[in-house]
A and B are shown apart, each in its own frame.
Chain A
Amino acid sequence: RKEVEQDPGPFNVPEGATVAFNCTYSNSASQSFFWYRQDCRKEPKLLMSVYSSGNEDGRFTAQLNRASQYISLLIRDSKLSDSATYLCVVGGGTSYGKLTFGQGTILTVHP
């Protein structure tokens, strides 16, 4: 079983749609959780950290369920510029600062 698993997609949605990505992780000792965004042929960039209480940043909402070892990202009112690969990332539990990356979920928002 992979340490971090995501549905690779691709997700193709129209502008204005709401889309949700899910992710599961296997290490119950994990302590930090993130969503990164990666544009084609670019480096990953931090989108948001994920907290147990859930957190929101504009159109983006992230949720964490530690009991189920599940992380989600909800994007509301999708924009063309949201087209990218979204990486679920889990850290802690073992080596200092080490992160484990999911393979990414591809999102394409079309007009």
Chain B
Amino acid sequence: AQSVTQLGSHVSVSEGALVLLRCNYSSSVPPYLFWYVQYPNQGLQLLLKYTTGATLVKGINGFEAEFKKSETSFHLTKPSAHMSDAAEYFCAVSNQAGTALIFGKGTTLSVSS
């Protein structure tokens, strides 16, 4: 069975600091991996996705993630945090394109000035 573990339910950074949100997955087949962001009272928005090909994936708002098969990881990074990045972030995996997404429990990112 597939699963996702997000290390750290809450991450706090200062504005301008590096953002690192950790995600490890378990999958018996090559995974499809996703990061979604959820702002208060809004729906989930896709930040980036990995399906095949290049393991470093760039997304919206300056975020990127690297698929590391040997470490079963798909950590999300951003070089410089903005106040507007404060939100809940979810990592998700699926074993086949178009099927159910399995989400982690989420990480709340706080950004202080």
Q: Do A and B come from one complex?
A: no
Binding site for B on A (CB under 8 A): none
